Structures are given as structure tokens and as C-alpha cells.
């Protein structure tokens, strides 16, 4: 009996080590995927100062990968996702991984980079910020965050065939910003602007007069959804951020505390209206434009 317990301990350590790889963090089928309780953390890593990184060549599964600065990359392949097991850990460029942020891991792109990812199977597309290395599975070209997998609608499947395109302008911007030690929030604002532009939704800039409505630019918003739970509001805000700046506005209704998720401000009512179909696809059919006078 004295030799039995060391064997159990060694076996437990081996199993623990196996569970720490990204390869096991991205399930390949809904049947093998354990249910996960999401805990959104929109502010994680906001105090980190990610660095600009290209990196040295490295080997995964016997294959050599050479990181390089590319602003014209376009490729297709299979993507997976990684989430709870890596939440809060340091990424390859020095920030903290947030499973609810719109980010991704790529083997060779400069960090950070801004990419458009299209799910070939269903046509959904999102704009993500690359801030990590991976995936470590030989048959995949991209690892997206859990929020990214939800937006692309393949989380329940584990993997999906995707098309990846680097957005040159935004990628050059975040490369320069990271070189100057910009914050995660500053880099994320570039991604959000790129996502809005990619979906035909224009964010307002301060001082720009609103055409069509006659209202000042800071007064045009989209009321996306309202929640009684701050956790649910945070989860929806993370999804809505892929098409524009999203905020949570606490309020009261019939004496009860509620949390409204709003997008904007927008330059015009027409710009704001373009966001509504995308919000409906995200489960907010009652989204509507509000103009605060």
C-alpha cells in the first residue's frame, strides 16, 4: 500500500500538466466539451502595457515557424478557440488574456495586429486583435477568444473553417501605438473603430456635426438591450463591442435596478441605424436609436 499513493500522486501531476495546453482548451465537438460558466471581466489587463513583438523562429510539433511583420496577409484554414483555462494568464505580447475580449492568437503575425476573420460556413465575420501566439495544434491556423468564437458562432462546434485578412491601416496604427507603450484600452479602441467601419457603422468623433438629424454627435446612440443582471449586461457588452463602442448605463425601472447596454455616439441617425441588424443577430431584436436632446 505504501507504493500505491506515490503512483496516484504522479498520475495526478501528469494529468494536470496535460490539461494546460491550448490544444485541449479548444474542443473538437460539442459532445466532449464541458459546460463553462462565463465570468466576463471587461477591465482585466487594462493596466497592462503590451509591447510590440515579432519574435524569433520556433518549432511546434516538428514544424518551424518564422514570425514576421505582415500587413498584407490573407489565409484560410481551421480556427479553434481557447478560454477559461487561460483566462488571466500573460499573453505573448505581455498583456493579460481575457476570454471575453475580441482577441486571437496567430503563429507568425506581429503582435499586436488587427484582423478580419470570416466563418466560411455561415458568413459571420468579426474584427479581432491578435495579441498571442498559437494555436499549438498542427491542423489549425488561428485560436480565437471565447467571445470571438461566440461571435463567429462556432463555439459549440469547437472549430470552424475561416478566412483571415490583416487590416493594414488599423494594424499599422496599433503596431506604432504598442511601440510607444499604449495601454490595452487604447489598442482596443482601434479594434472597435475598425470593427465598426468594417460593418459600415461610423463612430462619431468629438466636434463633428451630425448630418440628417440636426442633433449634436454626442446625443445619438443605439439602445441595444437592458438587463437586471450586471453579469449578463457585461457579457452582452463584450459581444456588442465588435461593431462599435459599447457602454453599460445603470438605471432604474419601476423601482428596480437595470443595466442598459448602449452603442455610440454616432455622427448621424442613419449611421446608428446600420448597427441594428447586427444587434438583432446577437439576440437584441428590440434595439433602437435614441436621440438625447
The pLDDT tens digits for 110-150 are 999 999 999 888 888 899 999 999 998 878 999 999 999 99
Q: What is the DSSP letter of 102?
A: S
161 and 280 in a single domain? The answer is no
Burial tier of 190 (Cβ tally within 10 Å: 0-12, 13-18, 19+): buried
Beta bridge partners of 145: 82
173 and 37 in a single domain? The answer is yes
Query: In the listed set 181, 204, 231, which residue is the last one of a domain according to the structure?
Result: 181
Residue 186 covered by a domain: no
Residue 198 covered by a domain: no
Query: In the listed set 181, 205, 240, which residue is the last one of a domain according to the structure?
Result: 181
> At residue 103, does pLDDT exceed 90?
yes
166 and 234 in a single domain? The answer is no
> At residue 20, does pLDDT exceed 60?
no
34 and 145 in a single domain? The answer is yes
Q: For residue 191, what are the contacts with CB-CB under 8 A and spacing of at least 6? A: 102, 114, 127, 128, 129, 170, 174
pLDDT of residue 200: 57
175 and 273 in a single domain? The answer is no
**Of 282, 270, 122, 150, which is closest to residue 200 (Cα–Cα)?**
270
Q: Provide the 3-class DSSP secondary structure of residue 59.
A: strand
Query: In the listed set 159, 181, 203, which residue is the last one of a domain according to the structure?
Result: 181
pLDDT per residue over 174-206, tens digit each? 999 999 989 998 999 899 888 887 765 444 332
Backbone angles phi, psi at 274, to 5 degrees: -65, -20
Total domains present in the chain = 2
49-68 mean pLDDT: 89
Residue 166 covered by a domain: yes
Residue 151 covered by a domain: yes
pLDDT of residue 1: 44
Domain with residue 234: its CATH number is: 3.30.70.1070
| pLDDT interval class at 46 (50, 70, 90) | very low
Task: Render the burial of 38-67: b for 16+ CB within 10 Å, e for the rest.
Answer: bebbbebbeebebebbebeeeeeeeeeeeb
> At residue 257, does pLDDT exceed 90?
no
225 and 80 in a single domain? The answer is no
172 and 35 in a single domain? The answer is yes
Residue 138 covered by a domain: yes
Percentage of the chain surpassing pLDDT 70? Answer: 76
| pLDDT interval class at 292 (50, 70, 90) | low
pLDDT of residue 13: 37
* pLDDT mean across residues, the chain: 77
> Cα 233 to chain center, whole Å?
16
227 and 160 in a single domain? The answer is no
106 and 48 in a single domain? The answer is yes
Domain with residue 124: its CATH number is: 2.40.40.10
Residue 207 covered by a domain: no
Distances from the Cα of 265 to the Cα of 44, 57, 201, 270, angstroms: 24, 43, 11, 12
16-43 mean pLDDT: 36
> At residue 70, does pLDDT exceed 80?
yes
Query: What is the extent of the structural domain holding 140?
Result: 22-181
223 and 167 in a single domain? The answer is no
172 and 226 in a single domain? The answer is no
pLDDT per residue over 140-177, tens digit each? 999 999 999 998 989 999 999 999 999 999 999 999 99
Residue 200 covered by a domain: no
- Residue with grid cell 502595457, as numbered in its chain: 49
pLDDT of residue 281: 81
Residue 13 covered by a domain: no
Amino acid at each position: 500500500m505504501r507504493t500505491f499513493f506515490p503512483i496516484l500522486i504522479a498520475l495526478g501531476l501528469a494529468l494536470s500538466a496535460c490539461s494546460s495546453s491550448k490544444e485541449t482548451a479548444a474542443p473538437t465537438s460539442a459532445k466532449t466539451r464541458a459546460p463553462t460558466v462565463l465570468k466576463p471581466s471587461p477591465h482585466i489587463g487594462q493596466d497592462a502595457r503590451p509591447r510590440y513583438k515579432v519574435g524569433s523562429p520556433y518549432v511546434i510539433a516538428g514544424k518551424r515557424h518564422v514570425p514576421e511583420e505582415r500587413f498584407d496577409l490573407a489565409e484560410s484554414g481551421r480556427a479553434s478557440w481557447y478560454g477559461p483555462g487561460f483566462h488571466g494568464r500573460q499573453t505573448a505580447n505581455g498583456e493579460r488574456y481575457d476570454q471575453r475580449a475580441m482577441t486571437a492568437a496567430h503563429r507568425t503575425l506581429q503582435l499586436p495586429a488587427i484582423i478580419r476573420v470570416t466563418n466560411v460556413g455561415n458568413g459571420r465575420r468579426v474584427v479581432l486583435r491578435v495579441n498571442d501566439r498559437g494555436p499549438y495544434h498542427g491542423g489549425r491556423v488561428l485560436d480565437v477568444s471565447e467571445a470571438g468564437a461566440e461571435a463567429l458562432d462556432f463555439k459549440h462546434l469547437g472549430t470552424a473553417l475561416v478566412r483571415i485578412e490583416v487590416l493594414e491601416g488599423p494594424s499599422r496604427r496599433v503596431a506604432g501605438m504598442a511601440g510607444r507603450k499604449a495601454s490595452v484600452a487604447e489598442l482596443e479602441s482601434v479594434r472597435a473603430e475598425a470593427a465598426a467601419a468594417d460593418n459600415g457603422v461610423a463612430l462619431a468623433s468629438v466636434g463633428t456635426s451630425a448630418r440628417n438629424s440636426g442633433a449634436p454627435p454626442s446625443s445619438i446612440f443605439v439602445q441595444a438591450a437592458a438587463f437586471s443582471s450586471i453579469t449578463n449586461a457585461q457579457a452582452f457588452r463584450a459581444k456588442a463591442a465588435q461593431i462599435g463602442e459599447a457602454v453599460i448605463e445603470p438605471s432604474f425601472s419601476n423601482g428596480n435596478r437595470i443595466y442598459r447596454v448602449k452603442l455610440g455616439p454616432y455622427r448621424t441617425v442613419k449611421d446608428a441605424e446600420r448597427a441594428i441588424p447586427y444587434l438583432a443577430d446577437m439576440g437584441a431584436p428590440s434595439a433602437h436609436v435614441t436621440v438625447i436632446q
